[in-house]
Structure 1
Amino acid sequence: MSLDLPPVAPAVTAELVQGLTPRLRKRLDAGVTKLAGRPSVRDGDTVRIAVDGDTHLELHAPGGTVTSTDAIRCGCLLAPDCLHRAAAASAAPIADSEPDSDSDSEPASQSMPDAAPAPVGQDASDPPRTPAASASKTISTDAQPTSPAEPETPTPDQRAAAQAMYDAAAAVLEAGTDGAGAVLQAELLRAAHTARISGLPRIAASAVSVVTQLRAARGAEPAYRLSELTAALRDVLGTAHRLPGSTGPELASLRGTARQPYTPDGSLRLYGLFSEPVLTATGYAGAVTWTADAEGRLYTVSDVVPGGSGRAVGAADRAIRIGDTALTHRELSRAGLAVSGATVSPTGRLGAGAGVRAVRASGAAWRADPLADLWALPVAEQVARALTGGDGLLFLDVTLTGTVREAAGDCLLADCDGLTLRLAAAHDHPALPYRENLRLLSDAPGTRLRVVARLDPSPVPRALLLAADHPCDPGVHVDLGLDRLQHADLPAPAMVPAGSPPTPDEAPLHLLRRRVHQAASAGRRVLAFPGDSATDSRRLGRYGFACAGDLLDELHSAAADRSRDVFGRLVPADVNRFAHAWLAAAHYTEEVDRSLCAAAWGADPALPPSP
């Protein structure tokens, strides 16, 4: 969308679309496209759009966000129930329903890289282990026995909200990206608003992510990824399906939390690791700097707010917002930080409250203590940690061996303790230098590097490269999403064995995964065409994936299930059956991918990582 519009709250968009007549709803997508080509002017908190020579549309966004329907005004004769107001709301970015106005709390649903997990042995959501809590376990034998408390169950409002969310998401899946226009998006946003006010922030955030991905797909935006749309849609349908029957801890997990509280953590001595740009399809941009203490616990300093690629590129040179320090993100990634009165979120993000003090301190090289210990942990244990809810980061020593062609482009091949590893770009946006740096490193086979990467679950060992040693100076590192390597930075070519490493014989799970992605993209109809899935099912069975073959058959059968009434007319398709079949297939592929990933790395995802 070319218009520079302020973010609009999901409830505002849903209400404006709901107020349209059926005739205007049919014209809404065309109205959004037409509005994109009209000139606009921003004056402070107001954006004015010239609909035509005599009609103007205004969006008032005090504080930067449109939070009510009255804030969108149109001068046409059909206002306030006109198409223009709904089209403007549908074209604008989706606002965060919980703006992060407090420096000591953050939206739990905000899309940014996860940070360090809670300390071993204690979940982030557990209450503090106080002496009073321990003393409560010593109860007098004279006390009357008490009945065990009934496990908490969802409220009627939450059950209704989950059902409404499931219905809205199933309708989106039925239509696919091409058919999920502004009307279906508004229904999903309405369900997200209902879920949020019912105390279900997790599913509400996932629904907003689905709408953002749909808009990116329909607008052919470079940030759109079909895999991300599929994952968000799977999370919405899966959470809505499980929530009505959940209790206790499972219910708490499915509900989620609207904001992550910051808890005191005393004084910290941190060492910079690396910085990475953040640019998400949900409209956030900025930078995150990763640091570690002497025990290897990871902490992040984040500056991520609504924005585009320009902000992602420039945020690294902004001063961090902790205490009075003047360090930028780029500088902190190579220096250190001494923090007093620190506050930390459950994901390891450092708070910037009024009581926090921070000053610059000396840093440490990756190959020096205490950071070198991060690379000492066996790779299999690091992967197990990433697969069991860790931060996803891998600290690896590799030797570059060549390149391999993938559907998304070339990626580096590297040897990691005898394991052939694929290192791919962490982001494909042309404003970020990830892809260029990987292409340059491919000209230096035989180079040994110490790298930081993020695990990318795949049947073959694969990770997204974030930072690496400088090829000619192991004493410094390069943030591959921010720094640009030059040919002069490369060492002389080393001799490497001729030939390419063998390609492993991968299990044909792509036969099911491809159908899952096709349905998310093109809707039910793409799987409803006449055809026979028996060949693919038999092939899956030969590899030991009989369940995958059954799921594939059911997915095709549910898509093609169209019965007729007594007059021979086609009745509406069973959307619920198709959504259930798709959800089962999507969940299955996710779990099998996780297991195959663990096997490829020699890890055991069922075992917790070592302390």
Structure 2
Amino acid sequence: MSVPPVFPAVVADVLDALPPRLRKRVDASLGRVAEWTVTADADTATAALDAETTLTWTLRRGVLTTADDLVCSCLIAPKCLHRGVAVAAADVAGGDQEPVEVPGEPVPGEPVPDAVEVTSDDERAAAGALWEACGTVLRAGAAGSGAVVRAGLLRAVHVARVAGLHRAAANGLRIAAALAAARAGDSSFDREALTAELVELMLLCHDLRTGVGPTAVLRGTARREYRPIGSLRLHGLCTEVVVAASGYAGVVTHLVDDGGVLWTVPAIMPGGAERVAAAASGPVAIGESGLSQRELGRGGLLLSGGTASADRRLGAGKAVRAVAASAASWDEPPLAGLWARPLPDQVARAFHAHTEPEAHRPAGADLLFVTGTVLGAAGDALRLATDGAGVDLVGDGDRARENLRVLANAPGLRLRAVARLLPDRPGTAVALAVIGDLDLPADLRHHVDLGLDRLQRSHVAGDGARELPPRPEPAERVPRPARPLENVLHRIALGGRAVAAVASARREVAALTRDGLTTTAGLLADLADASRDRDRDAFGRVVRDEGDDFPLAWLRAGLHVREFTRAAAKRAWLTEVGAK
């Protein structure tokens, strides 16, 4: 097995104890871990490195929680390279806790008001430590952020968690994982994703330090809080397959109450795509309805004493009671009302949802409810003609893509679909479930969950030719006029400050100015100047820079690109769906 996971602070504590000459050797020595044979039981793990050297971990719930619990038998321990390599190569434990039920008034889908609270001195100090750690990452870049830089970030993450800044701590862990992937040459590393995470965390730290925004939202929560919502009559909409890159998989069932509000019931567990079938056929954890997740997606539920988190995820507390109820089809209220809203309004709502923190993003806010006629295949997508526009439906997973190919072979077929909007692909959405003129067996009543069910060609009703509407032109990718500034942001995130300092931005600044993008040009010029503006001592040597000028210039540029891109994507989407 691999080395046991560690708490964030442990990495920093062990590496800080190393002499400078050994600290510099940690990154070059990480490959040794692959040669270790680690054996573990419930509370300990050991690895025999050679005939005279053994590493011993004392674990708490499978995690190394303190530096003192890692013991090496070599002569220079505890200031030895073995301990440093062991923690630098380990996965970092997130420290997630169990959900908690919170008493209070029913507030479905809304964050707790927190208008009078302000950040404390400890919180501002923790946010400042994370800001400094992000600045160090920017100066070094992912390519230069070795074990020592990553340890500094993890120490700041630990300080933030102790201070109660759980949202910032979780963001910092994602950045630390991305840095580790970059150093290891992992194909999962994405410099655009790292840039987005750095912008998000640095903006969060800036707001915490300056007291901008609702404090409760800025802090986040260590545990998902469930608050009372009373009794609900729920109708199954569909069941969505989830296979996350973070190592979790399962399903999420979407439900609708009598008022047309969407709710979710997840069944997510550690593992890969092989866990989906078990999660889909497993029992619903809410009450004692006797329904599986797949059955709930096609059935109904009577809920009493219900609880839900701010994003409308239903809780499974001991006081919650639920029994199975009759189902409603997509053509009956309240489900039919989901398709009554104009598609441009749905797109605007989905883009607004993407600006909200994920923990407070209402369930289904980024879903589109589309009605249209099948025109055929468009590359990897099913082309659907809606009223005066067109939408391409793509599948997430092999099963979904196979089902869409079956439907694409039936041009003229009228379909009603539930799909998730893709912001950076105008007119394209990930299809979750469909219904239409289909001859479905009894076990597929009401609709087809594209990620779980399997469509056959015999299920497509009718053999005659259908009248086709005009074929809309496929949408182009989102225009990115701020690409020169975006490229510099990505280069800094990957290669550090020196990359931007060496390259000249004069040509790009002039081109942006000619195109009328004077704000973008000004931000690019400011970032280029801040990258090269370095203090020197009396001998001309560069002095270590710990000021805020460069990080602030990078953050301003990152926010500009993010908002510019979002606005361009929203406009392209609205144009594609025929907004007036």
Regarding TM over 0.5, the answer is yes
The CA deviation at 1:459 is 7.4
Structure 1 residues 507 and 179, CA, compared in 2 at 3 Å: closer, same or farther?
closer
Structure 1 residues 303 and 181, CA, compared in 2 at 3 Å: closer, same or farther?
farther
The CA deviation at 1:236 is 1.0
1:116-131 equivalences in 2 (<5 Å)? 123-126=110-113
Of 342, 358, 364 in structure 1, the residue corresponding to residue 328 of structure 2 is 364
Q: Which amino acid aligns with 2:448?
A: V
Do the aligned residues in 1 keep the contact of 2:171 with 2:201 (CA within 8 Å)? yes
Do the aligned residues in 1 keep the contact of 2:228 with 2:307 (CA within 8 Å)? yes
Do the aligned residues in 2 keep the contact of 1:104 with 1:352 (CA within 8 Å)? no
Query: For residues 486 and 56 of structure 1, what CA distance do their matches in structure 2 show?
Result: 59
Q: Could you say which residue in structure 1 is the equivalent of 2:356?
A: none
Q: Which amino acid aligns with 1:418?
A: G
Query: For residues 80 and 119 of structure 2, what CA distance do their matches in structure 1 show?
Result: 39
Query: For residues 295 and 140 of structure 2, what CA distance do their matches in structure 1 show?
Result: 48
Q: Could you say which residue in structure 1 is the equivalent of 2:385?
A: 415
Equivalent position SS for 2:418: strand
Q: Could you say which residue in structure 2 is the equivalent of 1:114?
A: none
1:132-171 equivalences in 2 (<5 Å)? 152-171=117-136
Name the % identity.
41
Residues 1:268 and 2:232 are matched in the alignment: yes
Do the aligned residues in 1 keep the contact of 2:199 with 2:558 (CA within 8 Å)? yes
Do the aligned residues in 1 keep the contact of 2:426 with 2:478 (CA within 8 Å)? no
1:510-549 equivalences in 2 (<5 Å)? 510-534=483-507, 536-541=508-513, 543-549=515-521
Of 594, 598, 604 in structure 1, the residue corresponding to residue 566 of structure 2 is 594
Structure 1 residues 524 and 467, CA, compared in 2 at 3 Å: closer, same or farther?
farther
Q: Could you say which residue in structure 1 is the equivalent of 2:31?
A: 33
Structure 1 residues 281 and 46, CA, compared in 2 at 3 Å: closer, same or farther?
farther
Query: For residues 498 and 459 of structure 2, what CA distance do their matches in structure 1 show?
Result: 52
Q: Which amino acid aligns with 1:416?
A: T
Runs of 5+ consecutive residues of structure 2 not aligned to the other structure = 354-361, 576-580
Q: Could you say which residue in structure 1 is the equivalent of 2:358?
A: none
Do the aligned residues in 2 keep the contact of 1:470 with 1:476 (CA within 8 Å)? no
Do the aligned residues in 2 keep the contact of 1:212 with 1:281 (CA within 8 Å)? no
Do the aligned residues in 1 keep the contact of 2:97 with 2:222 (CA within 8 Å)? no
The CA deviation at 1:435 is 5.5
Query: For residues 469 and 568 of structure 1, what CA distance do their matches in structure 2 show?
Result: 71
Q: Could you say which residue in structure 1 is the equivalent of 2:91?
A: 93
Do the aligned residues in 2 keep the contact of 1:212 with 1:282 (CA within 8 Å)? no
Structure 1 residues 277 and 215, CA, compared in 2 at 3 Å: closer, same or farther?
farther
RMSD over equivalenced CA pairs, Å: 3.5
Equivalent position SS for 2:6: coil
Do the aligned residues in 1 keep the contact of 2:424 with 2:478 (CA within 8 Å)? no
Structure 1 residues 327 and 79, CA, compared in 2 at 3 Å: closer, same or farther?
farther
Of 425, 431, 448 in structure 2, the residue corresponding to residue 478 of structure 1 is 448
Structure 1 residues 523 and 319, CA, compared in 2 at 3 Å: closer, same or farther?
farther
Question: Which segment is superposed worse, 334-343 or 565-574?
Answer: 565-574
Query: For residues 139 and 378 of structure 2, what CA distance do their matches in structure 1 show?
Result: 36
Do the aligned residues in 1 keep the contact of 2:534 with 2:543 (CA within 8 Å)? yes
Q: Could you say which residue in structure 1 is the equivalent of 2:359?
A: none
Do the aligned residues in 1 keep the contact of 2:229 with 2:306 (CA within 8 Å)? yes
Query: For residues 403 and 526 of structure 1, what CA distance do their matches in structure 2 show?
Result: 43
Do the aligned residues in 1 keep the contact of 2:36 with 2:49 (CA within 8 Å)? yes
Equivalent position SS for 2:79: coil
Of 367, 371, 378 in structure 2, the residue corresponding to residue 393 of structure 1 is 367
The CA deviation at 1:363 is 2.5
Question: Which segment is superposed worse, 59-68 or 330-339?
Answer: 59-68
The CA deviation at 1:95 is 1.9
The CA deviation at 1:83 is 2.8
Structure 1 residues 532 and 347, CA, compared in 2 at 3 Å: closer, same or farther?
closer
Question: Which segment is superposed worse, 457-466 or 320-329?
Answer: 457-466
1:90-239 equivalences in 2 (<5 Å)? 90-100=88-98, 102=99, 104=101, 123-126=110-113, 152-221=117-186, 223-239=188-204
Q: Which amino acid aligns with 1:87?
A: V
Q: Which amino acid aligns with 1:85?
A: R
Structure 1 residues 438 and 118, CA, compared in 2 at 3 Å: closer, same or farther?
farther
Residues 1:508 and 2:481 are matched in the alignment: yes
| CA deviation string 1:50-100 (max 9, x = no partner) | 434554434444434333334434343333333333333333332232421
Query: For residues 39 and 300 of structure 1, what CA distance do their matches in structure 2 show?
Result: 43
| CA deviation string 1:471-515 (max 9, x = no partner) | 845854333444455666667797686895464783523333333
1:329-344 equivalences in 2 (<5 Å)? 329-344=293-308
Query: For residues 377 and 513 of structure 2, what CA distance do their matches in structure 1 show?
Result: 32
Query: For residues 489 and 37 of structure 1, what CA distance do their matches in structure 2 show?
Result: 54
Of 260, 274, 277 in structure 2, the residue corresponding to residue 296 of structure 1 is 260
1:564-603 equivalences in 2 (<5 Å)? 564-572=536-544, 576-602=548-574
Q: Could you say which residue in structure 1 is the equivalent of 2:357?
A: none
The CA deviation at 1:166 is 0.6
Question: Which segment is superposed worse, 174-183 or 442-451?
Answer: 442-451
| CA deviation string 1:323-359 (max 9, x = no partner) | 2344332332222222222111111111111111222
Of 280, 283, 298 in structure 2, the residue corresponding to residue 316 of structure 1 is 280
Of 418, 435, 458 in structure 2, the residue corresponding to residue 469 of structure 1 is 435
Query: For residues 270 and 66 of structure 1, what CA distance do their matches in structure 2 show?
Result: 43
Total equivalences in the alignment: 555
Query: For residues 572 and 107 of structure 2, what CA distance do their matches in structure 1 show?
Result: 27
Q: Could you say which residue in structure 2 is the equivalent of 1:146?
A: none
Do the aligned residues in 2 keep the contact of 1:449 with 1:471 (CA within 8 Å)? yes
Of 458, 467, 471 in structure 1, the residue corresponding to residue 424 of structure 2 is 458
Do the aligned residues in 2 keep the contact of 1:46 with 1:59 (CA within 8 Å)? yes
The CA deviation at 1:587 is 0.9
Q: Which amino acid aligns with 2:94?
A: D
Structure 1 residues 571 and 456, CA, compared in 2 at 3 Å: closer, same or farther?
same
| CA deviation string 1:292-335 (max 9, x = no partner) | 11211111112335544544564333322222344332332222
Q: Which amino acid aligns with 2:551?
A: A
The CA deviation at 1:155 is 2.2
Query: For residues 227 and 427 of structure 2, what CA distance do their matches in structure 1 show?
Result: 37
Q: Which amino acid aligns with 1:216?
A: A
The CA deviation at 1:541 is 4.1
The CA deviation at 1:199 is 2.4
Of 317, 329, 350 in structure 2, the residue corresponding to residue 353 of structure 1 is 317
Query: For residues 154 and 388 of structure 1, what CA distance do their matches in structure 2 show?
Result: 27
Q: Which amino acid aligns with 1:586?
A: G
Do the aligned residues in 2 keep the contact of 1:458 with 1:596 (CA within 8 Å)? no
Runs of 5+ consecutive residues of structure 1 not aligned to the other structure = 106-116, 128-149, 604-611
The CA deviation at 1:165 is 0.6
Question: Which segment is superposed worse, 512-521 or 185-194?
Answer: 512-521
Do the aligned residues in 1 keep the contact of 2:372 with 2:387 (CA within 8 Å)? yes
Structure 1 residues 166 and 484, CA, compared in 2 at 3 Å: closer, same or farther?
farther
Do the aligned residues in 1 keep the contact of 2:281 with 2:292 (CA within 8 Å)? yes
Structure 1 residues 500 and 71, CA, compared in 2 at 3 Å: closer, same or farther?
same
The CA deviation at 1:571 is 4.2
Q: Could you say which residue in structure 2 is the equivalent of 1:140?
A: none
Do the aligned residues in 2 keep the contact of 1:561 with 1:574 (CA within 8 Å)? no
